[in-house]
Amino acid sequence: MHMILLIVAGYVGLWFCPAPLLADETSTPEQPPVATDRAEQQSSYVIGPGDILDISVWKEAALTKQVAVLPDGFITFPLIGPIKAQGYTVQRLEQIIAEKLTRFVPQPNLSVAVKQVRSLHVYVIGKVNKSGRFELNAKVTVLQALAMAGGLNPFAKKNKIRIFRHENENTVIFNFDYSAVARGRQLDDNILLKRGDVVVVP
């Protein structure tokens, strides 16, 4: 604390004021931006064709790009060219791109964020009021997907609905009894749908 002598209209007094902070106490080293909560939540998202990605390298304006995942699952990024994105989580793609960029940018501080989700689709076909492809913006169950399709039409076989899922080069089939689930029974059949699932209502 500094002591300052004041002389005002013949009055002499002392005024105490806090000591000014030194320059090195007020300034802090410039730091890269901290990941947001949204980015952390996205880190486990699995990228698919059609998704729009924001990719940026801190302090490298030429390496800040918005790219689309092509139907073949690849994206193109400056310096490293085509690179596969489909099937990788956001976090893993960050690591892959950063590793490839180290040849050109030492220790790149890189971030990848999903700008738009366009690859999460399910299909509802058969005896529903509005069959087709539906984009998922949240976790959706079979019952919710049927509601998105306008519900069942009067001729639907409610207890013989099936869900087809492609996994590891194989097709897995799940059975779904609409009447039972609607009554609060067999709720385990009301599974969360995944990318590419096909709900068939005979």
Q: What is the dihedral of CA 190, 191, 194, 197, to 10 degrees?
A: -50
Domain ranges of the chain: 41-116, 121-201
- Tell me the pLDDT tens digit for each residue of 88-110: 999 999 999 999 999 999 999 99
pLDDT at 137: 76
Residues 6+ apart with CB under 8 A from 1: 16, 17, 18, 19
Instruction: Give pLDDT < 70 ranges for the chain.
Output: 1-42
Place of tokens 């952390």: 40
Place of tokens 């913006």: 137
CATH of 41-116, one of 3.10.310.10, 3.10.105.10, 3.30.1950.10, 3.30.420.40: 3.30.1950.10
- Tell me the pLDDT tens digit for each residue of 45-64: 899 999 999 999 998 999 99
Residue 36 DSSP label: P
Cα separation, 96 vs 84, in Å, equals: 10
Residues 6+ apart with CB under 8 A from 174: 162, 163, 165, 189, 191
CATH of domain 121-201: 3.10.560.10
pLDDT at 31: 53
Contacts by 89-94 with C-beta closer than 8 Å and gap 24+? 89/43, 89/44, 89/45, 89/46, 89/47, 90/39, 90/42, 90/43, 90/44, 90/45, 90/47, 90/114, 91/43, 91/44, 93/47, 93/53
Whether the model clears a pTM of 0.75, i.e. scores above it, the answer is: no
